[in-house]
Structure 1
């Protein structure tokens, strides 16, 4: 057997062993499966149960491996049995097959499959941990497939909920690229994240003691300072989907529908919980409240404030984050509905140094970060990212993959030019 055929045999045996263990352990669910097996086991929707018994025929083996000789290879494996009458594959002896698989595949591969990790841990194999395996592999409930199936189930054929769904950007933890490690946070921002983590771990404790007023955050700061990025990173870190809403988009041309859409958005959030509901452009509330001739809009704002009053992380599993670039526009009625206000200032010198280091961590850059940080006073985090992006384009235009001082100057000039245009347009 050549190397390719041996690897193929290992792949298929892992699949068969996984199926055999699942059939013998009713408590295992789709949450225990590695991503590569999600489409083969389970009900095909957001349900995490697994239909048993799992039967494996030639067509399923062909889907697991598209190799032309997959069926032939698997039939040659001494640990695999094949029922000619039923055309089904199985394992001859699980313990013997598992021992061979451990020798051939190694512990690192087993740790990427929680079903196997659980079996080997129970068998007493040192260095294999079921709990650690679960932490390593992506979770089905964090996936785009799970979230889309659950959203579709919630909305169904309800045309009104479909309209509200169109106003929300919904992201699963798996889809989000930002992580907390990618960001440079202030101590206050780190404290806010920690509070939510603690509340998530102790949610039942808080609920039993009726401590419900928790998990409503207001992010305030200039554009480009990381409000949306932190909300996304929190979603990934806390493993909760993010529902992003821009209040200005919710305003319907049919004003009577605006308040209803707000109500529906909160309804979707409650039914998707635990989740993060991120409401951007929150200062739109203030602008609407001072509009004397728009009764429908005022009713919509009152509906928003009412929903904020009734939603609770402890009770409903919804973390509410409001974000605004203009906190001075918010009145007391809006401010008092948030239990924590987190400021997003323009980065100071030390933060700019750290941001530049993170942005360029995968690049070949000869920049003096301290000097560059001193030259970019007043730049937001978004400005620094744009600067480096433009620097990369400048380098590529020179047929180079290395950022030079010239390239960085070009990038800095682009940011300053953008700012000049923006300021002149606002006059």
Structure 2
């Protein structure tokens, strides 16, 4: 439960000690505090920063802490004062305030504020739970803040000249990604690859020392809706990295003549925002098996893409590259060779579907819910499909003014989904049937397009999940049964 007095005191202490200690920089400030003071004109050699002195006013304290009346929360404390004219809240006795905060804040909270940790380290009779260095390591770096990202893009790219290209690149700050890895249930292989990447980023300097630079290029393969995009975004959230998403199909279809240029620009954006994750969706739309009769511009685009992949490195450039494809069979052999890891995202088996259902329904009220029965009836459905089924069950109950759904509601939603799926797959030969299909909109009722078109594909636990890097024979079936690792199962949200 939030403690308004503790929240406001932490903020005021932070502004005081950050102003006093010139050795502290923006990465010593918790993100929620530094964004309050961010200025695009604060530094000549950076896209922005935080200028001293920091003043804790009613307005800044309210923005940073969410406490509606900040002064009322701390007015009774002996070490606080407020200037009536400016509304500035300050400390009459900083050491007393620091002692008061240390006695009441738990260690995890203190460890999340490097400025407070530095003040405790400097105090004679107070002990910090962690070192300032460790505290800084656990705080999201300023380079991952939305304000930094926007300022950097504005500095390096001209809105008139590069505007169309930047429209094709979706950049998200970590705090804008709601899904975390803790929300997901991954296959053993998926979890293993993520752990490898986390360690590679953590020990990047060591990898450079031993000459292992060609690392950090992953290819996610699997049907639509199996979580390729969502897992990538959750990884960005987990690592505190900007997420740069590029849909190659849009670059190709809208600006065929400019494709090569825009591919290069996309990689340039990622390098400018490094450290970051560059996620290339619909990878097969450009890197298809090459034919002699294909458009010359597309040939150039493929060559440019392959060259750009060769020239980007996690170790050297701090860019983690993730490609995703729904059609691995269409990829050019040269494209396969560019990736050091292939991660399979198959459809879930029965047990995995049951797990997905448990996760998705964690916050729902369902009378007599039996996820095993639903799993038995939903063979072949992805995590996104299951999410769609549950959505229909909830909406159906709401039409009857009910906020508690039943097992019968869920099973009825499964039947409705199957009917829509059957309509989509019907061979509509006669004109009358085709007209009805168009009127109902059922033609795309189950068309998931790109990965993540629907929610919760990230919970797919396919039986397989293995990946053979020796010959890159990825037909979705070659890896043996992976023992899925079921992580924490909070509410199952997805982004797409």
How does the TM-score come out when normalised to structure 1?
0.85
* Structure 2 CA distance for aligned equivalents of residues 84 and 417 of structure 1: 67
Q: Is the 8 A contact 1:391 1:411 kept in 2?
A: yes
What is residue 218 of structure 2 aligned with on the other side? 217
The offset of 1:391, in angstroms, is: 1.3
The offset of 1:400, in angstroms, is: 2.0
What is residue 347 of structure 2 aligned with on the other side? 346
Which of 59, 64, 68 is 2:61 aligned to? 64
For structure 2, list consecutive stretches of 5 or more residues without a partner in the other structure.
430-496
The offset of 1:162, in angstroms, is: 2.5
**For 1:267-306, what aligned pairs fall within 5 Å after superposition?**
267-287=268-288, 289-290=290-291, 292-306=293-307
What is residue 94 of structure 1 aligned with on the other side? 94
SS in 2 for 1:174: helix
Structure 1 pair 252–409 and aligned structure 2 pair: CA distance change class (3 A): closer
The offset of 1:101, in angstroms, is: 4.5
1:19 aligns with 2:15: yes
Q: Is the 8 A contact 2:58 2:87 kept in 1?
A: no
Q: Is the 8 A contact 2:214 2:313 kept in 1?
A: yes
SS in 2 for 1:322: strand
What is residue 163 of structure 1 aligned with on the other side? 164
* Structure 2 CA distance for aligned equivalents of residues 313 and 426 of structure 1: 49
**For 1:232-251, what aligned pairs fall within 5 Å after superposition?**
232-251=233-252
* Structure 1 CA distance for aligned equivalents of residues 269 and 122 of structure 2: 41
Structure 1 pair 93–281 and aligned structure 2 pair: CA distance change class (3 A): same
* Structure 2 CA distance for aligned equivalents of residues 244 and 215 of structure 1: 16
Structure 1 pair 409–260 and aligned structure 2 pair: CA distance change class (3 A): same
Q: Is the 8 A contact 2:40 2:49 kept in 1?
A: no
Q: Is the 8 A contact 2:286 2:301 kept in 1?
A: no
What is residue 415 of structure 1 aligned with on the other side? 417
Mean CA deviation greater in 260-269 or 87-96: 87-96
Structure 1 pair 136–411 and aligned structure 2 pair: CA distance change class (3 A): farther
* Structure 2 CA distance for aligned equivalents of residues 135 and 208 of structure 1: 21
Q: Is the 8 A contact 1:220 1:324 kept in 2?
A: yes
Structure 1 pair 120–418 and aligned structure 2 pair: CA distance change class (3 A): farther
* Structure 2 CA distance for aligned equivalents of residues 360 and 291 of structure 1: 51
**For 1:77-116, what aligned pairs fall within 5 Å after superposition?**
78-80=78-80, 90-102=90-102, 106-107=105-106, 110=110, 113-116=113-116
* Structure 1 CA distance for aligned equivalents of residues 224 and 428 of structure 2: 15
* Structure 2 CA distance for aligned equivalents of residues 70 and 255 of structure 1: 55
1:31 aligns with 2:32: no
What is residue 3 of structure 1 aligned with on the other side? none
Structure 1 pair 408–13 and aligned structure 2 pair: CA distance change class (3 A): closer
What is residue 52 of structure 1 aligned with on the other side? 52
* Structure 2 CA distance for aligned equivalents of residues 136 and 284 of structure 1: 38
The offset of 1:292, in angstroms, is: 1.2
Q: Is the 8 A contact 2:8 2:73 kept in 1?
A: no
Q: Is the 8 A contact 1:118 1:129 kept in 2?
A: no
The offset of 1:92, in angstroms, is: 3.1
Mean CA deviation greater in 396-405 or 168-177: 396-405
Task: Write out per-residue CA displacement over residues 191-211 of structure 1, whole angstroms, 9 at most, x where no aligned residue.
Answer: 111111111011111112221
Q: Is the 8 A contact 1:13 1:101 kept in 2?
A: yes
* Structure 2 CA distance for aligned equivalents of residues 75 and 360 of structure 1: 44
Q: Is the 8 A contact 2:287 2:331 kept in 1?
A: yes
How does the TM-score come out when normalised to structure 2?
0.74
1:152 aligns with 2:149: no
For structure 1, list consecutive stretches of 5 or more residues without a partner in the other structure.
1-5
CA RMSD of aligned residues (A): 3.4
Q: Is the 8 A contact 1:235 1:241 kept in 2?
A: yes
The offset of 1:399, in angstroms, is: 2.1
The offset of 1:319, in angstroms, is: 1.3
What is residue 373 of structure 2 aligned with on the other side? 371
* Structure 2 CA distance for aligned equivalents of residues 79 and 374 of structure 1: 64
**Larger RCO of the pair (alpha carbons < 8 Å, separation 6+):** 2
What is residue 363 of structure 2 aligned with on the other side? 362
Number of aligned pairs?
Answer: 416
Task: Write out per-residue CA displacement over residues 307-335 of structure 1, whole angstroms, 9 at most, x where no aligned residue.
Answer: 11111111111111111111111131111
Q: Is the 8 A contact 2:232 2:279 kept in 1?
A: yes
* Structure 1 CA distance for aligned equivalents of residues 200 and 55 of structure 2: 42
What is residue 310 of structure 2 aligned with on the other side? 309
Q: Name whichever structure is richer in helix by fraction.
A: 1
* Structure 1 CA distance for aligned equivalents of residues 68 and 262 of structure 2: 53
* Structure 1 CA distance for aligned equivalents of residues 192 and 71 of structure 2: 55
What is residue 193 of structure 1 aligned with on the other side? 194
Structure 1 pair 121–357 and aligned structure 2 pair: CA distance change class (3 A): farther
* Structure 2 CA distance for aligned equivalents of residues 183 and 68 of structure 1: 35
